[in-house]
């Protein structure tokens, strides 16, 4: 794993944890209805509008970062798969299945009758 790929992976994990934290910090839509009537509006850090605009923008930025790092990790994975194919590792070969009846092996028929214990009786 290259240093660049490791760095992108670490940033991706940090952004994922940050996105979870940002989503958990945001208030639901039901909480804004109570704030409109004055209950709790004085206790907000960001004013009477709540944290919607600030945390919403930060959440969108973090989500964009996750998208970009996911795309970069997909490119790294594709390059790694192509480099493995270039190293001479054999790829699976599909065998031809269309054999004719003449080529198929035939079992020899036995003239010896079946013993009672071998085959259940026909009813």
Question: What pLDDT sits at residue 84?
Answer: 75
Mean pLDDT by 10 residues, the chain (123 residues): 89 96 82 57 54 82 96 92 70 58 66 63 68
Contact by Cβ (8 Å): 48, 38: no
Question: What pLDDT sits at residue 67?
Answer: 97
Please state the pTM of the whole predicted model: 0.53
Q: Is 104 exposed, middle or buried (CB count within 10 Å of its CB: 0-12, 13-18, 19+)? A: exposed
Specify the residue for token string 């970069």.
72
Contact by Cβ (8 Å): 77, 12: no
């Amino acid at each position: 794993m290259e240093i660049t790929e490791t760095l992108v992976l670490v940033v991706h994990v940090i952004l994922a944890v940050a996105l979870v934290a940002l989503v958990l910090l945001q208030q639901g839509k039901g909480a804004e209805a109570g704030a409109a009537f004055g209950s709790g509006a004085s206790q907000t850090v960001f004013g009477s509008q709540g944290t919607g605009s600030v945390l919403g923008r930060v959440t969108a930025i973090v989500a964009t970062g996750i998208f970009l790092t996911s795309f970069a990790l997909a490119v790294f994975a594709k390059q790694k798969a192509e480099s493995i194919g270039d190293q001479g590792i054999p790829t699976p070969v599909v065998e031809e299945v269309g054999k004719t009846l003449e080529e198929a092996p035939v079992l020899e028929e036995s003239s010896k009758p079946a013993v009672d214990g071998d085959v259940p009786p026909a009813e």
